[in-house]
Amino acid sequence: MAAHSDFAPEVSPVERRRDAYVWRLLVTGVCFVLFGIGAGVVGVVLLPLVRIIPAARERKRERARTVMRLALRLFIGVMHRLGGLTYEFRGSERLGRPGQLIVANHPSLIDVVFLLAFVRGAGCVVKAGLWRNLLTRGAVTLAEFIPNDSTADMIVAAAGALRDGQPLIFFPEGTRTRPGQPMVFHRSGANIALRAAASVTPVYIRVEPTTLTKAEPWHRIPPRRPHFTLVVGEDLDLQPYRAAPLPVASRKLNERLQAHFEAELERPAC
Amino acid sequence: MQSDDEILDRIRGTLVQLFQLEAGDITPAARLYEDLEIDSIDVVDLMDEVQRHTGRKVTPEDFHSVRTVGDLVAVMQRLLHA
């Protein structure tokens, strides 16, 4: 019976489950279901209304983005109030400016939910699979989000949206960070920034303990209640990158951007 | 009417300037991705240059079949005479 031996050394004991573990597991499951139901209500009732009420295409796009923002804001409120997570979002009032490229790291499944819930009128580059999913296709089409499947088309569309004065949310990692592995930023974000952004604003996202990462199923929830910290950083100064041709400049900016995020995320959120 | 050689010269100049490549490496048979390490993001920057040179609107579709510098010359010819 090795399990109860008094002589067993204490090697990294599994962290004790606390903060109402079973309740949080239930809440997590319920939230996935609620998200599905919410997406159904938005997709089947609200967005079709936006589509049929006569207005210019841009107007419909803005209405669709507003509907989605409020729905996601409600969803975050539900997750928070049911005790599934806690969060703080510092500096969100500086997001949503015309032509602003909002660049964020991507530790968890719901980072994009936070950004879309708090940034007014923003577009977003999202995975192309959302256009093939019946639940999400109508929403991403009407809101004119940008699919990330073809690099060239994505860059052209993203630059177009920024020149058009829309704020745009972009995750340079392309997909969620793999826990324990270094972040890898794709250069397309830096390229888009230099092409067309009026300003580039970083958002540093920390999740402690990690949850809903790339590597785990939904039911493997952390032993403690996760806390999300989203901090809006200072705008990046693009002037030093303007002189060189784009292929060279975007490589430099991308390296700088990634180093910037690594340094910032290394520190505690304080 | 420009000859393929004239266009190749212009492309060579552009690639040297944009990507800091060696002029000698830029032959019609050179493959953009494998030999010159020009990736899909660079191709968009290249499209802008082609647009500037030809004065024609260039779309990602025009570049879908481009693999080598020679293909690029052919696309330029087509755009110039479209």
Q: For residue B43, what are its two tokens?
A: 């191709």
Select the more confidently predicted residue: A13 or A179: A179
Contact A152 B47 (CB under 8 A): yes
pLDDT reading at A10 higher than 60: no
Burial of B29 (0-12, 13-18, 19+ CB in 10 A): exposed
**Running DSSP on this structure, what letter comes out for residue B68?**
B
Are A142 and A59 contacting, i.e. CB atoms less than 8 angstroms apart? no
Contact A152 B18 (CB under 8 A): no
Top residue of B16, B40, B44, B51 to mutate, by most chain A CBs within 10 Å, is B44
DSSP character string of A53-89? S---HHHHHHHHHHHHHHHHHHHHHHHHHTTS-EEEE
Chain B contact present for A150, CB below 8 A: yes
Give pTM, 2 decimals: 0.89
Q: How many residues does chain A have?
A: 270
- With a cut of 0.85, is the ipTM above it? no
| Architecture of the A18-266 domain | 3-Layer(aba) Sandwich (3.40)
- How many whole angstroms separate alpha carbon A114 and alpha carbon A206? 12
Q: pLDDT category, A135, cuts 50, 70, 90?
A: confident
Phi-psi region of A99 (alpha: psi -120 to 50; beta: other; left: phi over 0): left
Domain encompassing residue B15:
4-80
The pLDDT score that the predictor gives to residue A13 is: 60
pLDDT reading at B44 higher than 50: yes
Q: Domain locations in chain A?
A: 18-266
By three-state DSSP, how is residue A21 classified?
A: helix
The pLDDT score that the predictor gives to residue A2 is: 44
What does the mean pLDDT of chain A come to?
92
DSSP character string of A181-240? S-----THHHHHHHHH-SEEEEEEEEEES--S-TTS-TT---SS--EEEEEE-PPP--GG
Helix B40-54 and helix A188-196, axial crossing angle in degrees, nearest 10: 30
Return the bridge partners of A146, or none: A125
CB atoms within 10 A of CB A32: 14
Which CATH number covers residue B75? 1.10.1200.10
The pLDDT score that the predictor gives to residue A6 is: 53
What is the sign of the dihedral through the CA atoms of B1, B79, B37 and B42?
positive
The pLDDT score that the predictor gives to residue B80 is: 84
**Running DSSP on this structure, what letter comes out for residue A100?**
E
Q: How far is B15 from chain A (nearest CA, A)?
A: 10
Q: Which residues of A touch B59 (CB under 8 A)?
A: 156
The pLDDT score that the predictor gives to residue B1 is: 64
Contact A247 B45 (CB under 8 A): yes
Instruction: State pLDDT tens for residues A211-241.
Output: 999 888 888 999 999 999 999 999 999 999 9
pLDDT reading at A87 higher than 90: yes
User: Quick one: closest CA in A to B44, which residue?
Assistant: A152
Chain A contact present for B4, CB below 8 A: no
User: Quick one: closest CA in B to A248, which residue?
Assistant: B19
Contact B44 A247 (CB under 8 A): no
What is the sign of the dihedral through the CA atoms of A14, A19, A22 and A26?
negative
The pLDDT score that the predictor gives to residue B20 is: 86
Asked which of A192-206, A230-244, A253-267, B43-57 is least confident by mean pLDDT, the reply is B43-57
Return the bridge partners of A230, or none: A89, A205
Q: How many domains does chain B contain in total? A: 1
Q: Which distant-in-sequence residues (6+ apart) come within 8 Å of A221 by Cβ?
A: A21, A24, A25, A28, A211
Q: Which residues of A touch B42 (CB under 8 A)?
A: 247
Structure-token match 């399990």, residue found: A3
Select the more confidently predicted residue: A15 or A165: A165
pLDDT reading at B19 higher than 70: yes
Q: Which residues of A touch B19 (CB under 8 A)?
A: 247-248
Top residue of A248, A251, A253 to mutate, by most chain B CBs within 10 Å, is A248
- For residues A241-268, give the mean pLDDT: 93
DSSP character string of B3-62? -HHHHHHHHHHHHHHHH---GGG--TT-BTTTTT---HHHHHHHHHHHHHHH-S---GGG
Contact B40 A156 (CB under 8 A): no
